[in-house]
Amino acid sequence: MAVRVRSRWHAGGRSRSQSERASVVAALGWRIAQDSIRRMRERGYDIDCGPQYFHFVCELLVFLGHVADRIAFELLDEAQRGEFTRALVVRSADVVEDNRDMLLGLAVVGASRRHVIDLFNERAAEYSEYGYDREGGPDFAMRRAFGAHIRQILPEKDRAWVMDQVMEIEVPEAVAAVEKSARGLLGTASEVPPKSPQGSEGQ
């Protein structure tokens, strides 16, 4: 089942803030994660509810957050990009927090949200070293790095095969959806005057 991608606002509507754009991309990332898990389960990979499910979702949301940030770097000025990416990280963390009971059961309130923000900042040092372009998306090294993080989540029996699944199927489909959505939503973002940053979470 294909993930529905929103890439534009209704014609004639008001200008949207970077936070509103980020909320759409974060919601898309959540749907992509659910679709990816479903597809991998159908192919025999064990991603059980609980810590495995939680960490898979977090790793994918963080990876896609960095993809969206690369697109924002191309389309937005520095202030707009910072506002968009901060909002995207926080909103992605909120989505995970809102679903913490489904992911982890009785989780500590706020812990899931903090985990996503910390993970984004931790992965930033790694993913920033890799290349990204519009035609090819994340380069081989970036895809491999993400695949390695997913590999560590899965049981031993699945680790020999998961890199190909992630790098050749999951990443291209997820990136294509985020590319379509983020480029459509951010393409007119320069029409919105930059707002003063609210806090420093996610950066």
User: pLDDT tens-digit profile of 104-160?
Assistant: 665 678 888 999 999 999 999 999 999 999 888 999 999 999 999 999 999 999 998
pTM, 2 dp: 0.85
User: Is beta strand 132-133 parallel, antiparallel or unpaired with respect to 137-138?
Assistant: antiparallel
DSSP state of 133: E
The CA distance from 171 to 104, in Å, is: 25
Phi, psi of 123, rounded to the nearest 5 degrees:
-75, -20
**pLDDT tens digit sequence for 39-54:** 999 999 988 888 889 9
Amino acid identity of residue 5, one-letter, is V
